[in-house]
Chain A
Amino acid sequence: MRGGTVRFVLRRLAQLVPVVLAIAALNFVLAKLAPGDAADILAGQMGHATLEFTEQLRREFGLDLPILEQFLAYMGRTARLDLGISLIQQQPVVELIADRLPATLLLMVTALVLAIATGVALGVAAARRQGTWVDNLISVSALLVYATPAFWLGLMLIVFFSIRLDLLPSGGMMQIGVAQTAIGKVLDVARHLILPAATLGLFYAAVYARLMRASMLEVYGLDFITTARAKGLSEGTIAWTHALRNALLPVVTLAGMQVGHLLGGSVLIETVFGWPGLGRLVFDALVQRDLNLLLGILFVSSVVVVLVNLAVDLVYGLLDPRITHK
């Protein structure tokens, strides 16, 4: 990496601090808009939801303080990267998240890689055969997948691959006691990963296939493609080198923008497949009004999203030499 790029990254990281804090503030407001709090839930669960008991819990959690005071305390903690203690589970939020985040990241990254690889390959294939049955098949399939709800698709994949064919596990992340070696464990996780990653990735694959097709067709209309043909290059070389690298830029942009979306989608898919990621944790935090846990997860998610966006900017610079990071 050149010095200019290092400075660019450092400056961008510094700029991210106020952005992330602003998101944290917004999260607080949104979370507070929901009726009820952890004290209500906890008191209800314990079976003696007297007003006194609930108030006592509130005092313990600091939920009785004026909202502004709560807000300032929360922002102060967040700025120090202290995410607090889960109100319900009584464990540090950081630990709860650290337990679950790797699984979610694994699912997200696998789905994204799968989506980009499939989408780009199909988009290029369709663009090269514009107007033929191959193009039509790819375009119609992409539209169909695009319009299919992910949770339903997930259930159908389970029915087909797990129940009918008995090829892949229907849920979970690993089978206890099956794998002893490290490689065995990796393979076991990979087997469990296929269906949820496919379910999550297919929607994006469809989006990228359509975008890639359009982008390739646009690039095909540019003069330098004619130059490449006039040089005697094969259509394959033209598509996969000259056109592809130019056509990838919009896909990279969209992929970067959709990382937040993808994180949200993985929460849903995790529920369908019993994947031990952040999804279940978010769900519980929401239902139980576990303010600290919920805000902690949202904070970590926002950090992930802004970091990925920074990475996308760097990839942009790699793809297009006209973009320099200063």
Chain B
Amino acid sequence: MSAVLEVADLAVRFRTTRGTVNAVDGLSFAIGEGETVALVGESGSGKSTAALAMLRLIADPPGRIASGRILFEGRDILGLREEELREVRGGRIAMIFQDPMMALNPVYTIERQIGEVLALHAGMGREARAKEVVELLRLVGVPAPAERARQYPHNLSGGMRQRVMVAMALACKPKLLIADEPTTALDVTVQAQVLDLIQSLKDRFGMAVLLITHDLGVVAETAHRVIVMYAGRKVEEGTTAQIFKDPRHPYTKGLLEAAKWEEVEGAMLREIPGAVPSPFDMPKGCAFSPRCGAVQPRCRESAPPLAEVAPGRPVACFVAQEGRP
């Protein structure tokens, strides 16, 4: 499978008054054509920052992509000129965001906001745009699309707005869709609908999807492969089946345990003790060591590098690398 997107050694830093923070550190991964890859982690793990970095959408200042390569269709996004970058944005790579309430401009109609993409990337005229917008809305399952197109975001429910975001993202048949927590802000019943929608459209247009989420249920349903992030670094990667059946990193195990309680009736809520460390006060050695049940003295001395524990299974954990449970 040839890679649509290949990220190598990506580092994103934020300059703050309290010092420089490594929000993403040494992240590498690849997404194959038509593949869905999930980027998983708690809040503060750097997954959303990584997603924004794919299109150089990180506000500078305070953020900056410090190093790395983001190869998309053979070109390094980080080396593109402004105009080239703008062709990729919304044209070849589209993005949808967590909160559809905030992601649409409140003062413009749906038609205008979707139409903008068509005018920009497909050079469509006014009438062609109006028609295409209605088609797109119909495609993403918005009822009465012609009427909805003339309405404003506040006239639509959260689920409808996310469908509009999906329609906007799909307007130019992108090669890659980056979905940053696309269902987090939605009602549970609507979540499944939006996921199904993304899934079916992905198959129909042959898009690859980078799915950013903290919801392992979403991952299980949609992703081919999973990348687990912790404190700005990738700590484990594998196919979805591998990650769910045979997690190697203690953090991944913890995440899965925490997600399981729903299935077992009467079970206590399991959690990973502690919280993601403050980026200003990173522990020495492995960033997960203060919360880890299998911690060893050396984990507090130096950070474990990523190493394959099995083919296609890089894990950043000394214990896992030695093959002990």
Residues of A within 8 A of B (CB): 131, 222-224, 226-234, 241-242, 245-246, 319-322
Contacts and interface: CB of A to CB of B under 8 A. Distances in A.
A322 B105 CA distance: 11
A246 B107 contact: yes
Nearest to A246: B107
A131 B61 contact: yes
A246 to B, nearest CB: 6
Contacts, number: 72
Given A321-B152, A321-B154, A246 B120 contact: no
B117 A231 contact: yes
B91 interface: yes
Given A230-B90, A233-B116, A320 B97 contact: no
A41 B95 CA distance: 76
Given A230-B94, A230-B95, A223 B103 contact: yes
Interface string B106-147: 111100000011001100000000000000000000000000
A231 B105 contact: no
B6 interface: no
A168 B107 CA distance: 42
B319 to A, nearest CB: 39
Nearest to A241: B108
B76 interface: no
Given A223-B102, A321-B154, A230 B107 contact: no
A89 B289 CA distance: 91
A227 B89 contact: no
B57 interface: yes
B150 to A, nearest CB: 11
Interface residues of B, number: 30
A231 B90 contact: yes
B87 interface: yes
B120 A230 contact: no
B117 A322 contact: no
A227 B86 contact: no
Contacts of A131: 61
Query: Chain A interface mostly helix, strand, loop or mixed?
Result: helix
Nearest to A321: B152
Nearest to B83: A234
A230 B152 contact: no
A322 B154 contact: yes
A224 B57 CA distance: 12
Contacts of A222: 102
Contact of A229 (B61, B89, B102, B108): B89
B55 interface: yes
A265 B165 CA distance: 48
A241 B105 CA distance: 10
A233 B103 CA distance: 15
Contact of B103 (A227, A320, A321, A322): A227
A267 B299 CA distance: 77
Interface in B28-67: 52, 55, 57, 61
Contacts of B215: none
B59 to A, nearest CB: 8
24 contacts: A131-B61, A222-B102, A224-B102, A224-B103, A224-B104, A226-B52, A226-B103, A227-B97, A227-B104, A227-B165, A230-B90, A230-B95, A231-B117, A232-B87, A232-B89, A232-B90, A232-B120, A233-B116, A234-B86, A241-B108, A242-B108, A245-B107, A321-B152, A322-B154
B10 interface: no
Q: Tell me which of A226, A241, A242 has the highest count of chain B C-beta atoms within 10 A of its own C-beta.
A: A226
Contacts of B165: 227
Contacts of A224: 102-106
Contact of B106 (A228, A234, A246): A246
Contact of A231 (B61, B107, B116, B152): B116
Contacts of B61: 131
Task: Give the 3 A-B CB pairs with smallest separation, nearest first.
Answer: A232-B90, A231-B90, A223-B102
Nearest to B151: A321
B105 A246 contact: yes
A320 B107 contact: yes
A323 to B, nearest CB: 10
Nearest to B100: A223
A320 B154 CA distance: 11
B97 to A, nearest CB: 6
Contacts of B57: 226, 229-230
B168 interface: yes
Contacts of B116: 231, 233
B88 interface: yes
B107 A321 contact: yes
A131 B59 CA distance: 14
Interface string B159-192: 0000001001000000000000000000000000
Given A224-B104, A232-B90, 4 more contacts: A131-B61, A222-B102, A227-B97, A321-B106
Contact of A242 (B86, B89, B105): B105
Q: Tell me which of A222, A226, A227 has the highest count of chain B C-beta atoms within 10 A of its own C-beta.
A: A227
Interface string B245-274: 000000000000000000000000000000
B294 to A, nearest CB: 39
A233 B107 contact: no
A223 B100 CA distance: 9
Q: Tell me which of A231, A234, A246 has the highest count of chain B C-beta atoms within 10 A of its own C-beta.
A: A231
Nearest to B85: A232
B120 A320 contact: no
B152 A322 contact: yes
Contacts of A226: 52, 57, 97, 103
Nearest to A318: B107
A322 B151 CA distance: 11
